[in-house]
Chain A
Amino acid sequence: MNAIYGLFPDADSARRALKALRAASSRLHLNPKAIVIMSSEPLEEEGFGWEQERTLMPWLAPLGALVGGAAGYALSAFTQRSYPLPTGGMPIVAMWPTGIIMYELTMLGAILTTIVAFVIATGLPNYKKRLYDPEVTNGKILVGISELDSDCRAELEQLLYRDGAEQVKEFSNG
């Protein structure tokens, strides 16, 4: 994969560059999905596409909670009924303690589902050599395009510099 990217000192210049890249991508037959942004803090401002981010996580968590609740019920009720111990007249499966166990495992289900969903949705951990620049954690915003056609290289480099990039670099992991 060949990529070219610019490091921008602030959100304004990065936003301009992003806009220009998006405009240029149709003209230069580039895949708009290959545009990458990286930053050291979440970019929730307009122009960075935060509103278009969609995830199933808020739906998965209640689902995980239901699974957890069912697991709690299974743990208390099925196991105690399968191996009934003498309880001196008390019910084998008591409602309130079962309820408490179900409650705790419901919440645990939601928590574990969120963690797993986070891991899957972000694709972390991923230690492969990927497009990245340590300057990102120095506060720079990285805006670039990752499927690079070598013809457009010069034009893209110019575009990035024009919109305020401090540096323009290339990346290849081929």
Chain B
Amino acid sequence: MAHKWGMVIDLDRCTGCEACVAACHAENNIATVNADQAAKGRTMHWIHVERYWEGEFPNIRARFQPVLCQQCDAAPCEPVCPTYASYHNPEGLNAQVYNRCIGTRYCANACPYSVRYFNWFNPAWDKPLHLQLNPDVSVREVGVMEKCTFCNQRILAAEIKAKAENRELQDDEVKPACVQSCPPTAMVFGDLNDPNSQVSRMSGSVRATTLLEEVGTLPKVTYLGRESSHGNE
């Protein structure tokens, strides 16, 4: 059966360290922007940790949640792209074809999670930083939308390797950069079509919720809610 990639993020384990953000930038050749652009809201963190403050001093708590492309099964960004740059691939991923994108930015407006990013300028890396670009991932030019791809390059590499070795993919063989880099291993990635995979089992947890479930996008990222924090005031 074809794979159906999904992810589970355990918010109880997440410390908000943002190692996933840094790893994603490194793996996917994501440009960094200067302070002015960041103030305008033009950062390009495919995965970012959203932080909300709750309560009044002295009982303030920070709630944070890594948000990345939810790879929705009923993605609102897919029907609206006029050039089919945003489409649903057979493995359940919402794929972005950079070459087809003409930059209408309709998909970004349609995404309820605001996880799509636009290249406002041509990204540039001062020498010698250009040497650290990942050769497996294309560098996007100005005017093109981009977003989290569940590190599709790693998925493909693993699939090719498994096929070459004439075997099935193992459950923990594919790890996107964020999953790989998470220190408390709060993030789990795997095949939702495999009932024995860790992702499938954890998605069935009583703590499992999805983000913006009421919008009906059928996201494939499941969040395990924090345990009630009796010791954590």
Contacts and interface: CB of A to CB of B under 8 A. Distances in A.
A and B touch in the complex (CB under 8 A): yes
Interface of A: 85-90
Contacts of A90: 78-79, 88
Contact of A86 (B73, B79, B87): B87
B93 to A, nearest CB: 9
Nearest to A89: B88
22 contacts: A85-B84, A85-B87, A86-B87, A86-B88, A86-B89, A86-B90, A87-B78, A87-B87, A87-B88, A88-B73, A88-B75, A88-B78, A88-B87, A88-B88, A88-B89, A88-B92, A88-B94, A89-B73, A89-B88, A90-B78, A90-B79, A90-B88
Contacts of B92: 88
Nearest to B92: A88
| Best-buried of A87, A88, A90 by chain B (most CB within 10 Å) | A88
Interface string B63-75: 0000000000101
Nearest to B87: A86
B228 to A, nearest CB: 37
A89 B79 CA distance: 12
Q: SS class of chain B's interface: helix, strand, loop or mixed? A: loop
Contacts of B94: 88
Nearest to B95: A86
A165 to B, nearest CB: 64
Nearest to A94: B79
A9 to B, nearest CB: 60
B207 to A, nearest CB: 28
Given A88-B87, A90-B88, 15 more contacts: A85-B84, A85-B87, A86-B87, A86-B88, A86-B89, A86-B90, A87-B78, A87-B87, A87-B88, A88-B75, A88-B78, A88-B89, A88-B92, A89-B73, A90-B78
Contacts of A89: 73, 88
A86 B79 CA distance: 12
Nearest to A85: B84
A4 to B, nearest CB: 63
Contacts of B90: 86
A90 to B, nearest CB: 7
A88 B84 CA distance: 12
Q: Which 3 A-B pairs have the closest CB atoms?
A: A88-B88, A86-B89, A86-B90
A109 to B, nearest CB: 23
B110 to A, nearest CB: 15
A87 B75 CA distance: 11
Contacts of B88: 86-90
Contacts of A87: 78, 87-88
B89 to A, nearest CB: 6
| Best-buried of B73, B75, B87, B89 by chain A (most CB within 10 Å) | B87
Interface string B43-81: 000000000000000000000000000000101001100
